[in-house]
A and B are shown apart, each in its own frame.
Chain A
Amino acid sequence: MTHFIDRRLNPKGKSLANRQRFLRRARAQIREAVQKSLKDAAVADIGKERKVRISTKGTKEPRFRLDPRAGGEHDFVLPGNKEFTPGDEIKKPRTADAGGTGKQAADYAEGEDDFEFTMTQDEILDIFFEDLELPNLVRTTLKETPSKVWKRAGITTAGSPTQINLIRTMRNAFGRRLALKRPSLSELEKLQAELEALEEQRSDSDETREKIAALKERIAKMEAKRKWIGFIDPVDVRFNAFTEQPVPTSQAVMFCLMDVSGSMGEREKDLAKRFYMLLHLFLKRRYEKVDVVFIRHTHDAQEVDEQEFFYSRQSGGTIVSTALEKMLEIQKERYATADWNIYAAQASDGYTQSGDARRCVEMLNGEIMPLCQYYAYIEILDEREMEVFASEDSGAELWRAYRTVAELWPNFATKRISKPADIFPVFHDLFKKTEASA
C-alpha cells in the first residue's frame, strides 16, 4: 500500500518560530551587524531587506571534540594518490603550524565560521527600534471625537452579506436539517435509481406497477419535504458582529526641520537625510497616529511633502529662524497643544546669518519650548570640525546659542554627527526609553 501525499499546499514557514528564537538569541551580534551594514547604505535603502553577516559568538553550539593538532598521533586515508610511495612526507597546511594554539587554528578547529543571512525589513526595524520611544508622551485631553476602532463582538442574526459567518451558518443549517429529517440528495437519487430500474424492466405485472406507484409517491413526498425544509433557511444565517470601541489616543506630531542651504554640502545633507529617514521609519513603525511635518529652509522656509523633503535639491542662504516661524505657524493652525504632543527635530550645520541665532533662542525660549514635549537639535559637522570642536562647549554660533537653551529646558537635546556611523548611536541616545517616561 503506497500513499502519495501532496503536501505542497501545507503551511510553509514551519521554521518561523525557530527563526525568531534564533534572532532573539543573536540579538547583540545582529544589531552590531545591522548598524555596520547601515553605514554604507544609500539613503533610500535604509530599512530595506538586507543581508547581514554575524559572528557565531553567542550562538555557538559547543561539543566535545578531539583535537589531533594539539597532541597525539593518528592515521588517515585519502583518495587520489599520484606519485607518493611509502615513506614520503607531505608538509602540513599552514593553519596547522600554529599547533592548535593560535586563534586562527582554534577557529578553524571549531568548524563554525561567521555566517551571512538575509533579514526582512520588519526584522531589521524591530531590532533597530527596540527600546526606543518618543519621550514625554502624555495622554492628551479627550477630544470630542475620540478615535475608534472596530472590534469583533460575537455573532448576530442581522448584518450585511459580506460579514456572513459561513461556519456558524452552515452548522445551524445542518442541525436544523437533521432535526427536521430533511431527505438528503443521495437518498432521493437512490429512490430515483430504483424507479428507473423498475421502469426499465417494462414488466406489466401488478406487483411492479404497485411498486412504481409507491416509489413515485415516496419520491413526490420527499421532493415536497425537501422543498419546504430549505437547505439553508433565513433562521440559520449568522453574521460576524463588530462594535465600535473608543480608544484613548495620544496624538503626536513631529516637526522635521532641515537646513538645505548652500553651506550644507552634499555630505551634510546626506547625513541629515539619513537621520530623518531613520526618524520617519521609527515613527511610522512605532506610532500609528503620528503626524510628520516636513519643513526645509534656506533663507526662507517651506512645508514640503516626504518625497520632496528627502529627494529634491534646493539651495540658498541660511536663516534658521524662518523654519521656526514656519513651524509655529503650522502648529497654531493645525496642532493645538491641548490635543497634540508636539515634537521637533532640527538638523543644521550650525551656520546662520549673524544675529539670527539670537532670534532663534528667543523664539525657542519664549514660544516653542513651552509647547514642545521634546526638541532635538542635531548639528552636522565635517570630521575636521568635529576635531576642532571636540569639547561640548565650543562650536559654531548656533551651537553655542542652543547650549543656553539646553541649560534652561531639560527636554531640549543637542547632538553632533560627523559621519554615518554616528547616526545610530545619536538616534539611540535621543530616543532612549527612560524609566521615568515608561
Chain B
Amino acid sequence: MSGPLFTEAEWDFATLERTYKAIEEIALNDLKLDVYPNQIEVISSEQMLDAYSSLGMPLLYSHWSFGKLFAREETLYRHGYSALAYEIVINSSPCISYLLEENTMTMQALVMAHAAFGHNHFFKNNYLFRQWTNAEGILDYLAFAKKYIAACEERHGRGEVEAILDSAHALMDQGVFRYRRPPKPSRERAAEKRRKRSEYEEEAYNELWRTLPAGVEPPAAPPIIDPEEDFDGDMKLPEENLLYFLEKHSPSLKAWQRETLRIVRNLAQYFYPQKQTKVMNEGCATFVHHTIMNLLYDRGLIGEGSIFEFLHSHTSVVFQPDFDDKRFSGINPYALGFAMMSDIKRVCTEPTSEDRDWFPQIAGSGDWVGALKDAWENYRDESFIEQYLSPKVMRDFRMFALFDKADEAAYRVSSIHNEQGFRRVRAALARQYDVGAADPNIQVTGADLKGNRKLQLEHRMHRGIPLHASTREAVLQHVERLWGHEVVLEEIADGA
C-alpha cells in the first residue's frame, strides 16, 4: 500500500486527479455505484454566487428575480451570515460538480465523494429522476431557452417578456405534472424541434420590423405543431398543470408567450424530483461521502489530520438542533437522511430484535449495499420515511408529533417516540414530506371558451387549510394576465 494521497491542505490538479481515482475505486467497487461520467469544475467564490443565483444551473435566461437572489445571497455571504455551499452539482450527463477554489484538499475530496458520486448515483438511478428528467438534454435545452428569451426581448421588448416571465414564475409550483407523465420526446425529435424553432426564429426575424413605429406588432410566430401532443383545442379537465393548460388553451397568448410558458414549465418539471427527494438525495450523498472518507482513512490513503478535518465538517453538516434551540429551522435533511441510511446499514449487519419485527426483509441480511441501492432507486422522501424510518432513529431524534388546529391557542402533543407512538409519528413525518399535501391542490375545472371566457380554478382543501389570502390575490392577477379574461378561484372543503 502506498502512502497517503495528500498531506498538505493545498490542492493542485495532479492531487485532485489522484484522489478522484482513489475515490472512484471505492465508489465503484465497494459501494457498487452507477454514475454518469463526471465533469468537475473548479470555480471561485464569486462564480459560486453567480451559480447560486441562477438556480444552480450553468446557464439560464435573464430575469430580475435572479438578480434579487444574487443581491440577497451576496450580502448574506459578505457579512458572514451564511457560508457558501461547498459544492453545487447539476443533474446532467456528464454530471457537472463545482468545487470551490478556497476549499482545502480534504474538503475537495469530501465534495468529490459527495457530489460526483453520491448525488450523481442518485440522479442516475432514482426512479423520479429517470422518469421525469432528461439529464442528457437539459443543458442544450437551457441554452435554447436562454437564446429564445433573449430573442423575444429583442423583438417584443424587455418589459413584455418580463411580464410573462413574472406571471409564469408565480405559477411554477402549479406548472408540473404530478401524476400523468408528459409525453417525452425522443432526443432526436427534441433536437429536430429545436432546429425548427430556431430556423423559424431566423426566418421570422426581419430588420424592417425594427423600423416600424411603436405599437405596430411584428407578425406573431405561428405555433409549431407538435405531433406528440394533442393540440386540438380539446381540453381535458380537470387539469392540474396550470402552466400547461394556459400554454395550450389561453385565448389571449401569442406564440412566443406560449413558448415562454413552456420553458418555465419544463424548468419546473426538471426541478420537481429534487423537491420530492431532498432528504434522500442529501442523505445518499452524505452517506456516500462518509463511507468513502472512512474507507480512505482505513486504507491509509488519507492522514489523521485529514480525517479529523473531515469529521469536523461532517458533524456540522449533519447537526440537528432541537425544536426549542434558537438555531432550529426545521428538520435538517442531511441529518435525517444520513441517520436513516446509516440505520439501514446497521439493521442489515447488526439487527436487534426490534429491527427484526420492523424490517423482516432486510434485518440481518448483511447486504447493506444492496438494501441501500434499492432504497435509493425506488423511493421518494415520503415513501422512504414511511418505509424505513426506524424506532431507533425516532428515539435518537426524540421526535414527537403535534396536532395543530387553527383556532386553538395551543398545539397538542399527539404522539411521542414510544411504542404506541412510533407508527403515528412516522406517518405524520412522511405526510410532512409529501409535496402533494404541502403544495396546494389547484386545478382548472372549467373554461368557457365560447361564452364569457371565464376560467374556473378550484382549490381542493386538505383538512380545511385555505390558501394564504394576500398571495392568493397576487397570483390570481398573474393568472388573469396569462388567461386574458376573468379568473375565479373557488376553495372547496374536503369531501365537498
- A residues apposed to B, CB below 8 Å: 1-8, 10, 12-15, 17-26, 51, 59-82, 84-92, 97, 99-100, 106, 109-110, 115-118
Contacts and interface: CB of A to CB of B under 8 A. Distances in A.
Nearest to A21: B64
Interface in B143-177: 158, 162, 166, 169-170, 172-174
15 contacts: A20-B67, A24-B64, A26-B68, A62-B475, A64-B173, A64-B440, A68-B404, A68-B406, A76-B404, A80-B322, A80-B325, A80-B397, A81-B417, A92-B404, A100-B469
B378 interface: no
Nearest to B335: A79
A180 to B, nearest CB: 39
Contact of A72 (B46, B173, B406): B406
Interface stretch (B37-45, B131-139, B229-237): B37-45
Contacts of A21: 62-64, 67, 158, 162
A74 B173 contact: no
A87 B415 CA distance: 8
Contacts of A82: 322, 324, 398
Given A14-B50, A61-B169, A87 B463 contact: no
Interface stretch (B12-20, B190-198, B246-254): B12-20
Contacts of B331: 77-79
A107 B310 CA distance: 40
Contact of A22 (B47, B68, B402, B407): B68
A168 B459 CA distance: 65
Given A22-B67, A61-B170, 11 more contacts: A61-B169, A65-B468, A66-B465, A67-B466, A72-B461, A79-B323, A82-B324, A89-B411, A90-B412, A115-B72, A117-B74
B406 A7 contact: no
A20 B162 CA distance: 13
Given A19-B67, A19-B71, A117-B74, A84 B413 contact: yes
Interface in B446-496: 459, 461-472, 474-475, 478
B475 A4 contact: no
B15 to A, nearest CB: 11
Contact of A88 (B65, B320, B324, B413): B413
Contacts of B62: 17-18, 21
A329 B481 CA distance: 64
A66 B173 CA distance: 12
A3 B64 contact: no
B225 interface: no
A63 B170 contact: yes
Nearest to B474: A62
A21 to B, nearest CB: 4
A19 B420 CA distance: 54
Interface string B397-424: 1111111111101111111110011000
Nearest to B473: A62
Contacts, number: 269
Contacts of B67: 15, 17-23
A78 B400 contact: yes
A72 to B, nearest CB: 3
Given A8-B43, A10-B47, A64 B472 contact: yes
Given A17-B62, A78-B402, A66 B467 contact: yes
Contact of A4 (B13, B47, B439, B442): B13
B352 interface: no
B39 A2 contact: yes
Most A Cβ at <10 Å: residue of B43, B406, B416, B474: B406
List the 3 shortest-distance A-B pairs measured between CB atoms, nearest first: A80-B322, A22-B67, A72-B464
A25 B98 CA distance: 31
Nearest to A97: B409
A7 B20 CA distance: 18
Given A7-B47, A118-B75, A69 B406 contact: yes
Contacts of A24: 64
A67 B473 CA distance: 14
B9 to A, nearest CB: 18
A77 B39 contact: no
Q: Looking at chain B, what size class is its interface with the partner chain?
A: 35 or more
A74 B407 CA distance: 12
Contacts of B478: 62
B37 A15 contact: no
Contact of B465 (A25, A74, A79): A74
A285 B384 CA distance: 61
B321 interface: yes
A78 B399 contact: yes
Interface of B: 13, 16-17, 20, 24, 37-44, 46-47, 49-50, 53-54, 62-68, 70-72, 74-75, 78, 94, 98, 101, 158, 162, 166, 169-170, 172-174, 320-325, 328, 331, 397-407, 409-417, 420-421, 425, 428-429, 431-432, 438-440, 442, 459, 461-472, 474-475, 478
B421 A86 contact: yes
B115 to A, nearest CB: 13
A87 B410 CA distance: 11
Nearest to A59: B68
Contacts of B438: 66
A69 B467 CA distance: 10
A425 B428 CA distance: 58
B465 A117 contact: no
Nearest to A117: B71
Contacts of A1: 37
B36 to A, nearest CB: 11
Contact of B467 (A14, A59, A65, A84): A65
Contacts of B407: 71, 99
A64 B475 contact: yes
A263 B284 CA distance: 75
Contacts of B402: 75-78, 90
A76 B428 contact: yes
A77 B416 contact: no
Contact of A66 (B409, B416, B466, B474): B466
Contacts of A89: 410-413
Contacts of A19: 67, 70-71
B403 A73 contact: yes
A132 B350 CA distance: 77
A115 B98 CA distance: 28
Most B Cβ at <10 Å: residue of A4, A18, A69, A85: A18
Contacts of B166: 61
Given A72-B406, A90-B413, A2 B428 contact: no
A8 B63 contact: no
A18 B50 CA distance: 10
A92 B68 CA distance: 33
B290 to A, nearest CB: 20
Nearest to B331: A79
A209 to B, nearest CB: 48
A69 B470 CA distance: 13
A72 B321 contact: no
B400 A75 contact: no
B398 A79 contact: yes
A80 to B, nearest CB: 3
A19 B63 CA distance: 9
A38 B467 CA distance: 40
A62 B20 contact: no
Contacts of B470: 106, 110
Contacts of B75: 51, 115-118
A62 B403 contact: no
A74 to B, nearest CB: 6
A2 B120 CA distance: 13
Contacts of B406: 68-73, 99-100
